């Protein structure tokens, strides 16, 4: 006889951050952790299919509003998700701007995340400082300059993609600089690059095209999720990498398939700020039968 999942009949929110499919699950009232099998079961349902599952837990630290755990569709945990963090802020602060309910501080595997409401449906997330050293990203071998690492796909004399920038925004990113992000078969190359031996924790893969000093076009293969319409940490990583290569200024509009994010790599404290929208698609409860065999 199987044990019922404690997630059965729990309320969820299906949201999106710029098209990035997000499910928000609030578990602050119970001491329960989501298992990888339960995350996969939720992702497999049409109504709750997600790019990231954002689970809100009660904080163990005084002065911190909540602790978040982030799951990919394959059940693995992610350290950071900027678009999902904005959705969590909307779920916690409420749908309408209210005086005194404008800021949150959240714990994550990537560190503390500070979120500020910019309007009823827009939030700014302080993603903290990027990590740029090879062993912080991490990479499997030493590269003194992570603005360009030795990695390529295709023939040695005519590689299809090569020489990406490497950045960690709490999770590892490899940014390939191209003329047209849509000219490449990312569905084919994404899994190969995500799981390349140079990335011991796998990596998010970005194809980036610089359009102006304040504009980047971006397409993303997310670690553990695949091609997504948007990726907040990926947009942050791309801007950091572009600034380091002197390709853009520090305030950049990043256009993804789902729309625009506005990124600032602040010079005075090295923090990366990401501003963008959220949208509620529907609310519901998990049917017990979806967790059969997953508890």
Known catalytic residues? 81, 231
Q: Which residue has the tokens 């600032």?
A: 264
Cα–Cα dist 253/262, whole Å:
5
Contact in structure between 158 and 135 (CB atoms under 8 Å): no
| Distances 98 to 64, 91, 203 between C-alpha atoms, Å | 20, 14, 38
Contact in structure between 39 and 68 (CB atoms under 8 Å): no
Which helix (H) or strand (E) is 191 found in, with range?
A: helix 186-194
Would you tell me how many other CB atoms lie within 10 Å of the CB of residue 145?
11
What letter would DSSP give residue 5? P
């Amino acid at each position: 006889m199987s044990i019922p999942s404690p997630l059965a009949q729990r309320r969820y929110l299906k949201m999106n951050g710029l098209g990035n499919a997000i499910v928000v699950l609030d578990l602050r009232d119970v001491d329960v952790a989501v298992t990888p099998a339960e995350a996969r079961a939720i992702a497999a349902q049409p109504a709750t299919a997600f790019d990231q599952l954002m689970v809100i837990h009660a904080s163990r630290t005084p002065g911190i509003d909540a602790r978040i755990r982030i799951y990919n569709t394959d059940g693995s945990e992610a350290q950071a998700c900027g678009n999902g963090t904005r959705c969590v802020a909307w779920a916690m602060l409420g749908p309408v701007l209210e005086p005194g309910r404008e800021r949150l501080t959240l714990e994550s595997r990537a560190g503390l995340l500070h979120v500020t409401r910019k309007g009823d449906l827009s939030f700014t997330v302080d993603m903290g400082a990027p990590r740029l050293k090879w062993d912080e990203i991490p990479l499997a071998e030493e590269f003194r300059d992570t603005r360009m690492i030795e990695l390529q796909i295709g023939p040695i004399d005519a590689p299809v993609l090569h020489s990406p920038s490497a950045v960690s925004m709490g999770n590892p990113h490899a940014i390939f600089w191209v003329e047209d992000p849509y000219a490449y078969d990312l569905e084919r190359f994404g899994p190969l690059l995500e799981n390349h031996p140079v990335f011991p924790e796998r990596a998010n893969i970005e194809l980036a095209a610089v359009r102006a000093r304040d504009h980047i076009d971006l397409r993303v293969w997310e670690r553990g999720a695949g091609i997504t319409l948007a990726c907040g940490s990926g947009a942050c990583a791309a801007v950091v990498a572009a600034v380091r290569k002197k390709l853009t200024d520090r305030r950049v509009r990043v256009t993804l398939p789902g729309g625009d994010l506005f990124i600032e790599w602040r010079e005075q404290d090295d923090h990366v700020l990401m501003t963008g929208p959220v949208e509620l698609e529907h609310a519901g409860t998990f049917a017990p039968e979806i967790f059969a065999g997953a508890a």
